[in-house]
Amino acid sequence: MTQPILQFGTGRFLQAHVDLFVSQAQARGEALGGITVVQTTDSPQSSARLAALASGRGYRVEIQGQMNGERVLETVHVDSVREGLNASRDWARVMEAIATDVQVIISNTADRGYALNDSDSAALLSDAAAVPRSFPAKLLVLLHHRWRLIPDAALSLYPCELVSRNGDTLRDLVLDLAQAWGTHAQFQAYVREHCVWVNSLVDRIVSAPIEPAGAVAEPFALWAIERRERMVLPCTHAAIVLTDTLARHERLKLMLLNLGHSFLAERWIVDGRAADETVFQAMSDAALRAELEAVWGDEVLPVFEAEGEGEHARAYLVGLRDRLLNPFLAHRLADIAKDHREKKRRRIAPVIARAIEMNMALQQRRLRSALSSNAEESSA
């Protein structure tokens, strides 16, 4: 049986976020239905995870931390994933799925997931056996196949990658590729106007996997979704917030939580700190905590104040400190430090650029030093 939700990405974040939401909503009769997950990377670990997800037995998510001043220790069984496919081995079945009852596509393809591959070409549109290499090319081929067979069916796409205006960004990537491949104008109109590309922001610290499937996560969870006409939601859930001010949610998370994480990772690399150090341990170091507080207070909050968002930023920081001081989560700085340069470009550079744009007299010494350094994860 084809599931109405097609998901690209099998990692622990989606397991403890979207997949968990859909599972809980299903129990209330408030979800579209089950999920088919598609694995786009090949490794023994990811293959074992896919096999566990494809079994249909479900998996557990351990929720650990504090919420509203109360300790939360909860085990949640997630059973929304009903089918698991490997893009390399099962591409024909992925093509079959998109041509049937799929109403929603979800993705979380990590920091480099939008990168194109020169080996992908227009020949993929006519060779059903060939598997595109990049995620945008995979999506283009699938959408083209669906357009040819059921062009009037509703389809909403929810990229969950931590990219500003991720729906618009992914749509433009796919459209540029469609134009480069010389696709029909009617198909390009289908991609641009019929498909609903939804900008959203995901926020939950998922600190560790449970093998072969499952995860450990904090109690806090948010999926802020920008309202779009005709969009079909995968489910309803208390953690899903429909908003007309997505940019505010994005700025708070990017410039406070994500920036804070990358600043701690920078210090972890440059200072040669313990290989297995966690965010909680780093935050418990008085000197390092003071440095991060100075970054927030002296180099980031003034930018929010200048934009009239100071009150929202200070309120967000109150909850954020509790999240980073969660003693139950082993959120390793080594994990945060992966793709460190790219993360700094996304998380730190916009704060500096915004201060310059507003002609603010901010030195932002710590942020500028972190951004300009050549520190890499492998140097730790």
Nearest C-alpha neighbor of 281 from the set 219, 324, 236: 324
Per-residue pLDDT, averaged over 86-96, amounts to 95
The confidence score (pLDDT) of residue 375 equals 82
pLDDT digit string, tens, across residues 247-284: 999 999 999 999 999 999 999 999 999 999 999 999 99
Residue 49 has pLDDT above 80, yes or no: yes
The confidence score (pLDDT) of residue 62 equals 97
If one compares 329 and 293, the residue with the highest pLDDT of the two is 293
Residue 67 pLDDT grade (very low, low, confident, very high; cuts 50, 70, 90):
confident
Percent of the chain having pLDDT more than 90?
A: 88
The confidence score (pLDDT) of residue 270 equals 96
Residue 19 has pLDDT above 70, yes or no: yes
Percent of the chain having pLDDT more than 70?
A: 98
What are the strands, taking DSSP E only, across 193-298? 196-197, 200-203, 206-209, 214-217, 222-226, 240-243
Residue 379 pLDDT grade (very low, low, confident, very high; cuts 50, 70, 90):
very low
pLDDT digit string, tens, across residues 181-193: 999 999 999 999 9
Q: Are 183 and 222 in contact (CB under 8 A)?
A: no
> Mind listing the domains of the chain with CATH numbers?
5-244 (3.40.50.720), 247-379 (1.10.1040.10)
Q: pTM score > 0.95 for this model?
A: no
Residue 134 has pLDDT above 80, yes or no: yes
Residue 380 has pLDDT above 50, yes or no: no
Omega before 212 cis (within 30°)? yes
pLDDT digit string, tens, across residues 159-176: 999 888 999 999 999 999
Per-residue pLDDT, averaged over 295-305, amounts to 98
The confidence score (pLDDT) of residue 111 equals 62
Edge-to-edge strand ranges of the sheet holding 81-86:
81-86, 35-39, 5-8, 104-107, 156-159, 196-197
The confidence score (pLDDT) of residue 372 equals 95
